[in-house]
Chain A
Amino acid sequence: MQFFGGSDISPSPPVTTGSGDNGHMMYIFNRNGVCLLYREWNRPLKTLDAQQDHKLMFGLLFSLKSFTAKMDPTSVEKGNLGLPQLPGQGCSFHSFRTNTYKLSFMESPSGIKIILVTSPKTGDLRESLKYIYNLYVEYVVKNPLYTPGTPIR
């Protein structure tokens, strides 16, 4: 599967902040928690096997989403902690930062989750995530030979 480097992609890539070489990993999950794509560029430390790693990442986002919605001071419809939410329900977070990395996240109403793990100095990546979502639509979803819900080859 050729994911980058397509010649004529309709939406133009957003201008990214900072210099290159600050990306660590990227994940794309579907609504069933299947990791459709995982790429790493710079990940010196690995402690888990791939499958566990993907599960942990998905679980982190799942819980974080549920917590952030529960703590929302502006919204009345909160549901109970731990109870499943409808996608797009409640507020949603789009990034968090630690002293060593930044995680940026977007989720489409159809449950596609795109995660970028980058250097903590990275700026707002929401446009970039959206751009990746567009690439996913153009090059994965529309490929007649792609079976939905399977990892991207």
Chain B
Amino acid sequence: MAPIAPRSGDAVFANVERVNAELFTLTYGAIVRQLLTDLEEVEEVNKQLDQMGYNIGIRLIDEFLAKSNVSRCVDFKETAEVIAKVGFKMFLGVSASVTNWDADGTCCSLILEDNPLVDFVELPDTCQGLYYCNVLSGVIRGALEMVSMKTEVTWVRDMLRGDDAYELKVKLLKQVPEEYPYKDDE
């Protein structure tokens, strides 16, 4: 049995079931709205969105692996490219570009060319500290943790805050090897 070649983001996206992006956008909006009502503090909302993203990420990784046939990445550079070109495309139908690599190849930027989360969104003055798309950073962190990479994902630029693009910084903290999970005396 020859190994199956990984599929391109476009190919995967063309083959999965899709829904109207507005339903998705508005549902996300409803979640953010609920959080703002429940939690009051914008900082808490950012945290909760990141946590929700993380919860999604640790599930979504298996769907990603099952549908894309990506079996493993040689290094973090390849991983970042796969997220940008296959991951974003497969789930959100948009692609991202990878830039700003640091010298040792452990830190880079993902720049979103289109962001379906933010259609129709404008932040009111009361929510100025809100990272509206914080769910995305959580998703990436959660998904990478499941393939043994501890990362830190932060927003560098956010158009809702007046920047000219959506830019996420992804920093690889360490690769965690798989350990024997049971203690001997158990």
**A–B contact (CB under 8 angstroms):** yes
Instruction: For A124, give the chain B residue with the smallest CB separation.
Output: B1
Max chain B Cβ within 10 angstroms of own Cβ: one of A58, A109, A127: A109
What interface size band does chain A fall in?
Answer: 20 to 34
Instruction: For B177, give the chain A residue with the smallest CB separation.
Output: A84
CB of A111 within 8 A of CB of B182, answer no
List the B side residues contacting A84 at CB < 8 Å: 177-180
CB of B178 within 8 A of CB of A111, answer yes
State the CA gap A6–B65 with chains docked (Å): 22
- Contact with B65, one of A62, A108, A127 (Cβ below 8 angstroms): A108
List the B side residues contacting A88 at CB < 8 Å: 71-72, 147
What interface size band does chain B fall in?
Answer: 20 to 34
- Contact with A33, one of B17, B71, B181 (Cβ below 8 angstroms): B181
CB of A137 within 8 A of CB of B62, answer yes
List the B side residues contacting A111 at CB < 8 Å: 146, 148, 178
A110 at the interface (CB under 8 A from B): yes
CB of A141 within 8 A of CB of B65, answer no
CB of A137 within 8 A of CB of B178, answer no
State the CA gap A10–B136 with chains docked (Å): 27
28 contacts across the A-B interface (CB closer than 8 A): A33-B180, A33-B182, A34-B181, A55-B182, A58-B181, A59-B182, A85-B178, A86-B148, A86-B175, A86-B177, A87-B147, A87-B148, A87-B178, A88-B71, A88-B147, A108-B66, A111-B146, A124-B1, A126-B1, A130-B66, A133-B62, A133-B66, A136-B62, A137-B62, A137-B66, A137-B67, A141-B59, A148-B59
Contacts A86-B175, A87-B148 known; 12 new A-B pairs at CB < 8 A: A58-B182, A59-B180, A84-B177, A84-B180, A86-B177, A88-B147, A109-B65, A133-B62, A134-B66, A137-B62, A141-B62, A142-B59
Q: Which of A's residues lie within 8 Å of B, judged by CB? A: 10, 31-34, 55, 58-59, 62, 83-89, 108-112, 124, 126-127, 130, 133-134, 136-137, 141-142, 148
